[in-house]
């Protein structure tokens, strides 16, 4: 698709310390991957600033090596941000029409850049602990990924609109295994306190159900302590009924989703979206999700899953997933979660961002 009768030159900025690939655990990384692939397929010229070993459709500007040592994260993040700024300052900035920041923090260093910077906010406000939203560079605008997230950022200046996340639905084939032959509950995602993997284990234990916990423990000390304190003892309690799969590959993730009885989403914060709920629907697998944040926007109650208010309701909802029809899940995913729909929304936001004159060298107070 042509945007304003011309193709765009877009620089995507990823979280600097983890590679972007189909094996990425985070929803923001998965969303960036799907969007960049779709924009590249449409003919836009795409470059991704991300750490080495990232796999992208367009060009890669490698900002440094992946980092797994928690005590090096802050230093390496600063170094890789400076590497990107140095590259842009050396003349590379003239190669782009727009910078789309998915890193969560690059926009804070964008003061003085002579082109629009649009930052996608992937998290609720409470999780942007190191972001200073009181001073926003004039070249920066924002977008949210759900209506509920916009309502939480109601005081933020220059929010251009909402672009819901999407996935490449065709990469998630629908499973035809009957529900009665599916044996386990699945929890899949980043293993950290706010995602609530321990609640999924408690629900499965109360139901005497098999459960698989699959995901990545990021190299943050508090993530590792959470796993040791809350998840590992519950896995031991589950015995043969519980299984942990660390850092599943894309193929493993698809297989887990296609054969699960239900996907449990047990987040303890207001989720701004849920890529894994979209992936489950594409596979024809129902979701049981806590009614938090944007989950009512993503999970179609009675069509792709069941929304509940607490763990007790989650237990009671399990028999209801047998009424969820896999073909309806798949159809809903195709209609509402596609990467094409997401890319259409971002092309509209890019139009708005490019119409905004970019003052150089000043910042505005929120």
What is the reported pLDDT for 366?
47
Q: Is the pLDDT of residue 1 over 50?
A: no
The Cα 67–Cα 316 span in angstroms is 42
Q: Quick one: pLDDT band at residue 365, thresholds 50, 70, 90?
A: very low
Do 102 and 12 form a contact (C-beta atoms < 8 A)? yes
44-68 average pLDDT score: 91
What is the reported pLDDT for 363?
47
The Cα 247–Cα 164 span in angstroms is 26
In the chain, the domains with their CATH numbers are: 9-166+339-365 (3.40.50.2000), 169-336 (3.40.50.2000)
Q: Is the pLDDT of residue 71 over 70?
A: no
Do 320 and 306 form a contact (C-beta atoms < 8 A)? yes
- The rounded percent of the chain whose pLDDT value lies above 70 is 94
What is the reported pLDDT for 277?
98
Tokens of 176: 């035809």
Do 188 and 256 form a contact (C-beta atoms < 8 A)? yes
The Cα 111–Cα 255 span in angstroms is 45
- The rounded percent of the chain whose pLDDT value lies above 90 is 78
3-class SS string, 221-265: HHHHHHHHHHHHHHHHHHHHHEEEEECCCHHHHHHHHHHCCEEEE
Which of 14-23, 100-109, 274-283 is predicted with the least confidence, judged by mean pLDDT? 14-23
The Cα 214–Cα 358 span in angstroms is 44
- The per-residue pLDDT of the chain, averaged, comes to 92
Which of 62-76, 129-143, 194-208, 342-356 is predicted with the least confidence, judged by mean pLDDT? 62-76
What is the reported pLDDT for 80?
83
What is the reported pLDDT for 182?
85
Tokens of 231: 């998840």
16-27 average pLDDT score: 84
213-224 average pLDDT score: 90
């Amino acid at each position: 698709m042509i945007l304003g009768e011309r193709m765009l030159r877009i620089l995507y900025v990823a979280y600097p310390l983890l590679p972007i690939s189909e094996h990425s655990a985070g929803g923001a990384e998965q969303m960036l991957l799907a969007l960049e692939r779709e924009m590249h397929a449409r003919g836009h010229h795409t470059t991704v600033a991300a750490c080495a070993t990232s796999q992208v459709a367009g060009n890669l500007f490698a900002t440094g090596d992946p980092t797994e040592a928690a005590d090096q994260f802050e230093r390496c993040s600063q170094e890789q941000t400076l590497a990107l700024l140095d590259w842009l300052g050396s003349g590379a900035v003239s190669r782009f029409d727009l910078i789309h920041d998915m890193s969560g923090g690059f926009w804070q260093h964008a003061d003085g850049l002579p082109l629009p910077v649009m930052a996608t906010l992937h998290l609720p406000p409470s999780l942007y602990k190191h972001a200073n939203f009181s001073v926003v560079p004039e070249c920066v605008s924002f977008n949210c990924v759900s209506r509920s997230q916009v309502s939480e950022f109601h005081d933020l200046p220059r929010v251009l609109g909402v672009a819901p996340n999407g996935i490449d639905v065709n990469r998630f084939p629908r499973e035809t295994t009957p529900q009665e032959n599916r044996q386990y509950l699945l929890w899949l995602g980043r293993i950290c306190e706010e995602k609530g993997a321990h609640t999924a284990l408690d629900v499965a234990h109360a139901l005497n159900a098999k459960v698989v916990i699959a995901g990545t423990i990021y190299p943050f000390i508090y993530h590792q302590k959470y796993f040791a304190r809350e998840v590992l003892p519950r896995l031991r309690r589950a015995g043969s009924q519980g299984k942990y799969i660390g850092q599943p590959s894309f193929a493993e993730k698809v297989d887990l989703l296609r054969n699960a009885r239900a996907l449990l989403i047990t987040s303890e914060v207001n989720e701004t979206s849920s890529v894994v709920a979209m992936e489950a629907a594409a596979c024809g697998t129902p979701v049981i999700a806590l009614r938090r944040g944007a989950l009512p926007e993503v999970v179609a109650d009675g069509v792709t899953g069941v929304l509940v208010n607490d763990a007790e309701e989650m237990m009671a909802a399990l028999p209801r997933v047998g009424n969820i029809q896999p073909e309806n899940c798949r159809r809903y995913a195709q209609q509402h979660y596609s990467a094409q729909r997401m890319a259409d929304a971002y092309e509209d936001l890019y139009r708005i961002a490019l119409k905004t004159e970019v003052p150089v060298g000043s910042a505005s107070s929120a």
